[in-house]
Amino acid sequence: MQSSYPLNQQCAAAVNEQIAMEIEAFYAYKALASFFEHPDRALFNVAKYFRDMAAEEIEHSKKFEDYLTMRGVQPMFRDLKAFNPDKNLTLQQAFELALKFEQTVFASIRKIHDCAEQANDGHLTTFLEDIFYEDQLHAEQELNGYLTAIKRAGTGLGEFLFDKEGLKEK
Ligand SMILES: [Fe+2]
């Protein structure tokens, strides 16, 4: 495909890496979902929350794939890094990890944005701003709120109550 508006190679490589990062986030959220579904934890709404997060990450990876395809670049895939939660991971630690994942992903999106600005690629900067900036800021806001609620409720019965009442419908 000959594009009249080719994507800068460095930016294309950064988007390729982003695809893998989004799928790794999917993989990690899936692991957290299974973890909380286990009978030793039995926090089923938390498990559902992480399953829904996983589904969102797969959608994100697809949006980046589609973007490369639209710009005439063949997406390239690399091996994925697995995440397996420690068996003693607490609810608070799980949400702290989720917040860290989101912050890392957002930092990486902003790096692609820097690349796009340097390459004077207005379409890529707009794509990132319109589709991802709001989503990422919203995810951080949500996770920070949940962390406040989890800390306030405390462990034991507090975790049970957070699971029952603490999560908004996604
Ligand atoms: Fe994402």
Residue (of 108, 89, 84, 91) closest to 49 by Cα position = 91
pLDDT of residue 141: 97
Q: Is the pLDDT of residue 170 over 80?
A: no
Sorted by sequence, the CB contacts under 8 Å of residue 72 that are 6+ apart come out as 1, 2, 3, 6, 7
Ligand 1 centroid distance, CA of 157 (Å): 31
Ligand 1 centroid distance, CA of 57 (Å): 4
What is the band of 2 on the pLDDT scale with cuts at 50, 70, 90?
A: confident
Residues in the chain: 170
Half-sphere exposure of 1 (CA within 13 A, CB side): 12
136-151 pLDDT, tens digit each:
999 999 999 999 999 9
Which of the two residues, 58 and 4, has the higher pLDDT score?
58
Domain 9-78+90-166, CATH class in plain words: mainly alpha
87-133 pLDDT, tens digit each:
999 999 999 999 999 999 999 999 999 999 999 999 999 999 999 99
Ligand 1 is an ion; residues with CB less than 5 A from it: 22, 57, 60
Ligand 1 centroid distance, CA of 60 (Å): 5
Ligand 1 centroid distance, CA of 95 (Å): 16
Domain ranges of the chain: 9-78+90-166
Ligand 1 centroid distance, CA of 123 (Å): 20
Q: In whole angstroms, how far apart are CA 19 and each of 112, 151, 170?
A: 12, 33, 23
